[in-house]
Amino acid sequence: MNFVSRCFCCLLTLLMLSSIGLSSLAQAQIVPIIMLLNADRSGTPVEYRKGSYQRTNGEWKSGKWLINYGMLLVLELDKKKQDPQWFSPAEVHRFVAGTDTFITVRDITIPQGRIDAGYAQQMYLGGGYALTNYVYFRPGMAVSKSYVLLAKGTQAPVIVPTKPREFRQFMLSHVGDHPLLAKQLKGAKLNPEHAAEILKSYVLWQKNRPASAIEPNSQK
C-alpha cells in the first residue's frame, strides 16, 4: 500500500467511525495519519530528522526519518520530491539522530497484548541491560501509551512500574546487592525517573568489584 492509499484509508476510517455515533470526546482523539505526519498533537509541524538507520542485514544508510504509528518513514537525502519508504521493525535494527538512538525491541508484552517487535527509544544499554521507552499506538488512531521496558540479557523485556513503591521493589530485584542503591531504594530516595542512572551506577559497580567479592548467586 502506497503513501496516498494509507492516508485515504485512515480518512475513510475516521468518517466511518463518525457515522456510527461516537461521542464528541472520542472523535476528538482520532486523527487521520495524514495529519499526524504533518503535525503533532499540539498542532506543531513535525519534521523528519536527519540521521542514519541500520537494516537487519547490518547495512547502514543515511536519510531523514520519522516514526509514525510504529513504522519508520525514511526520505533519501538527495531527493526533493519523493514518497517516504516505510519500514517495519522486522526490517530495521536501529536508527539514530544526534544523541537519540532507537532500537528494535522484540517479544513485547503490554496490557494491550503481545507485540512481536516494535521501535523503542534507547534510555540505557550496558552490562546486559537494555532500558527503552516504547510507545504503543492504537491502530488507525492517534491514541498512544508509553511504556518503559527493561530487558536483561536475552530475556524478553518487562514493563518497569511507574508507581514509586512498585518501582523500588522492582529495581531491588535487579540491583539489590549494591549496598548504596539498596539503601536508597529502601529509603524511598529513588523514583522511576532515576531508572537509567540506577542501572548505569549498578553496572559500573559490578565491573569494578573484585572477583573475590562477587558471590555466584549475586551475579546479574
DSSP string, 45-86: BP-PEEEEEEETTS-EEEEEEEEETTEEEEE-TT-SS-PPEE
What whole-number distance in Å separates Cα of residue 68 and Cα of residue 45? 14
Going from the C-alpha of 171 to that of each of 106, 191, 202, the distances in angstroms are 22, 10, 11
Q: How many residues does the chain have?
A: 220
Q: Where are the domains of the chain?
A: 1-43, 160-212
Which residue is it, cell 536519510?
Answer: 63
> What's residue 144's pLDDT?
80
User: Contact at 8 Å (CB) between 12 and 5?
Assistant: no
> What's residue 79's pLDDT?
78
User: Contact at 8 Å (CB) between 105 and 151?
Assistant: yes
User: Contact at 8 Å (CB) between 54 and 92?
Assistant: yes
> What's residue 142's pLDDT?
64
10-residue mean pLDDT profile of the chain (220 residues): values are 46 37 30 34 62 92 87 86 88 92 94 92 95 85 84 95 96 95 94 96 88 44
> What's residue 38's pLDDT?
36
Q: In terms of Cα–Cα distance, which of 106, 94, 117 is closest to 156?
A: 106
Does the model's pTM come out above 0.75? Answer: no
Measured CA angle at 22 (ends 37, 20), to 5 deg: 105
Which residue is it, cell 484509508?
Answer: 9
